[in-house]
Chain A
Amino acid sequence: MEGNCVNENDLKKQDPLVVVGCAKGYTKEELLSNLPRHCKFSPSLIKQVKLIPEAIFRNSGTPIAKKINRMMHEMSTEAYRAIQFTRTEINNRGVLFGVVMLKHRVVDRVLIYFHERWPQCIICLYNEQTRETWIIDEKGAIRQYHQPLKKVVENVSKNRQIVPYFEDIQFSGEQIFETLYKSQFIAERENKQYFKKMIPDQCFKLPGMKNGVERHFRNKKLNDFL
């Protein structure tokens, strides 16, 4: 961190957090490597970031710092929300697939999350926003296809063997989850405001939303994409 190499005489002029080395926000390296993921990224923005000192971004005081930090926040939030709310299915050959709706280029982060959980499976995610299917294989290699999800899933499943313990869980789980979800409700504790706070706005706007929020996070069936 910058704070370690700061002259003591200049301490008073500096942002205290940078001095201590526990400042909020992102390092310049993080900004430079992650900003291109944002959908509204432009090369001129990177030029600006290179010129401005890190402490200014960390303080979020200037309009440009606010803008950059907001962009970083939007990306990380979108990736995290996708990790939380993407609903997936697995077939008997160990191919896990689901649908995401990502504006920013963060699909690799979501793929890696699923890859860590299902390391021996191939993960296929269809991005509704860009109409592309992304896959990550057992070795962690990421590829992109301009094909519908069903086709990609069929293709990657072709040469894979049936796995007995995945074969075991080939039944519909939607109703099971709905029943479990309903069973946990405690009327005396209902707090709609808090509930709305926890569910991000963009998730309320997902396609096919009707009656209740949970319904909308569930993964679509393959037929829906044909």
Chain B
Amino acid sequence: MPSILEKIRVLGENSKYDICASTASSRTDKYPKLFGNSKNWVGAAASAGICHSYTPDGRCMSLFKTLYTNKCIYNCKYCFSHTCKHKMSFTPEEYARTFMKLYSMNVVEGVFISSGVCGSADETTEEMLEAIRLLRFKYHFQGYVHFKCLPGVSQYLLREAITLSDRISVNSEASSKDFLSEIAEQKDFNNDIILRQRWLKQIRVKHNLEALKVIKDYKEDNQLKYQEMMIKDRREDGYKKFRWDGAPILNSGQTTQFVVGAAEGETDFDLLKQIDWGYRNIDLRRGYFSSFIPIEGTPLAGQQAASLSREHRLYQSDWLLRIYHFKLKDLKDILTDDGNLPKGDPKIYLAKQYFEGCGPLDPNNASYKDLIRVPGIGPISAKRIINLQSKKFEFKRREDLKAVGVVLKRAAPYLLINGKNQRTLENFTQPLQEENSWREIA
């Protein structure tokens, strides 16, 4: 019988490639407490999240992140559990106790529970849920829980998982059915992944609407208003305008993760297309990209690792889609012939293309949509500029722009400041300098 330490060593190592960057969850007091109004509750979920430790690769490590079990019926070609000879599982009691100990030491901020599929997805999920139930109702833990949905899990279990967690994720791993079958032939892309993602959205919306009905002092008008808001609060391209914050359940939304570079021939555009679909159709909160790293003993051991810079570029592009409201077709225009993103910041490529025709931009009469396309101007500084325009403030000096948060080093080549466009020799070189800071994996 392996000890707790042995289980943490093996199951923690097996889960290290799973990404869960955030521990943020903003529940509001407006709604009833998720797990009753017990006086004994412990823990809290901060809206910004808190990092209690950093691994030597610089990543924040703030969640108790281990697999529940590494016994798995699937044979995914990239997966760690392929090579692991020591098969073991936590018991729900062990899992909950160990986490509470770590939480009391202030070394972790919440739980990230994932697992191999032992027996069937439902059996394993039942056990994982039992561990979370113990945390919530025996140890009165009210903090952050990220629950990993196993492929093929039943709807009734998903429903319970949603009510117990702040965030749920279903790993897509690949961008399409064909690519998934290449790396994990037993998984059914449409049934095991897409269907579950759709369920998550349906259950959450339905539950939140029902929850609002029972909230004290909540008028019927507001109920209708909420329904209207759900429909109206979408951008033209179908993305949700507002975040999930303050929702009665699953307020950190659902996420997904892709293994970048495991399936041969899968391009950056394939991944971005799939994530764009997720934002529009299943109200994905965000997507994670994990560069493929070959593991000895797996069928893909001989395959080349994906570069970290590729992962970085995908995150930059994802940010442009999600936060800057760029369209997927804009990104399509800057792709290289092989369908991948070019080396360097995608926003600089987009700006070069966009401003080639219309020339530099005068911040005194530019629209928000134009401003946001300038490298060095983000949504906040663009909104500040628009605010100042409405107050008839004129930008005549570089300092004025600096004061509203514009990064002039990047923005100057695309702006007219007091009628002049300032460029330096550096602006004519390719936007690749920063690329050097990202190491390529051999």
Contacts and interface: CB of A to CB of B under 8 A. Distances in A.
Nearest to A199: B54
A19 B391 contact: yes
A183 B9 contact: yes
B237 interface: no
Interface stretch (A70-78, A83-91, A151-159): A83-91
A119 B54 CA distance: 27
Contacts of A171: 101
A192 B384 CA distance: 37
Contact of A120 (B4, B39, B293, B395): B39
A176 B4 contact: yes
A92 to B, nearest CB: 11
Contact of B105 (A173, A183, A197): A173
A184 B98 contact: no
Interface stretch (A10-18, A27-35, A41-49): A10-18
Given A120-B39, A188-B305, A199-B54, A177 B105 contact: yes
Quick one: which of A12, A96, A116, A179 has the most chain B CB within 10 A? A179
Interface in A194-209: 194-195, 197-199
A214 B55 CA distance: 9
B293 A180 contact: no
Given A119-B41, A188-B305, A181 B100 contact: no
A57 to B, nearest CB: 14
B393 A180 contact: no
Contacts of A84: 50-52
Interface residues of A, number: 59
Contacts, number: 157
B68 interface: no
A171 B101 CA distance: 8
Interface in A77-112: 83-90, 96, 98
B97 interface: yes
B441 A188 contact: yes
A17 B391 contact: no
B123 interface: no
Residue of A87, A120, A183, A195 with most chain B CB atoms under a 10 A cut-off: A183
A145 interface: no
A98 B12 contact: no
Interface stretch (B56-64, B185-193, B268-276): B56-64
Given A188-B305, A197-B58, A16 B101 contact: no
Contacts of B16: 183-186
Contacts of B395: 16
A117 interface: yes
B53 A214 contact: yes
A194 B58 contact: yes
A180 B5 CA distance: 8
A178 to B, nearest CB: 9
Contact of A177 (B9, B107, B391): B107
Contacts of A116: 44
A16 B57 contact: no
A174 B107 CA distance: 10
A179 B8 contact: yes
A207 B340 CA distance: 50
Report the interface size class on chain B.
35 or more
Contact of B102 (A11, A22, A177): A177
B30 interface: no
Nearest to B11: A183
A11 B395 CA distance: 11
Most buried by B among A114, A165, A182, A190: A165
Contact of A169 (B8, B100, B388, B400): B100
A189 interface: yes
A85 B384 contact: no
Contacts of B47: none
Nearest to A96: B104
B104 to A, nearest CB: 4
Contacts of B98: 176
B328 interface: no
A20 B305 contact: no
A225 interface: no
A76 to B, nearest CB: 13
A218 B392 CA distance: 55
Contacts of A117: 42-44, 143
A127 interface: no
Nearest to A195: B58
A176 B101 contact: yes
B264 to A, nearest CB: 20
A8 B143 CA distance: 48
Interface in B361-387: 384, 387
A217 interface: yes
Interface string B36-48: 0001111110000
B17 interface: yes
A101 to B, nearest CB: 15
B89 interface: no
Given A176-B4, A176-B98, A195-B57, 13 more contacts: A8-B392, A20-B388, A22-B387, A89-B104, A96-B104, A98-B106, A165-B40, A169-B101, A171-B101, A173-B105, A186-B293, A198-B58, A217-B53
7 contacts: A11-B391, A11-B392, A16-B404, A117-B143, A173-B101, A174-B105, A176-B5
Interface of A: 8, 11-12, 15-17, 19-20, 22, 59, 83-90, 96, 98, 114, 116-121, 165, 168-169, 171, 173-177, 179-186, 188-195, 197-199, 214, 217-219
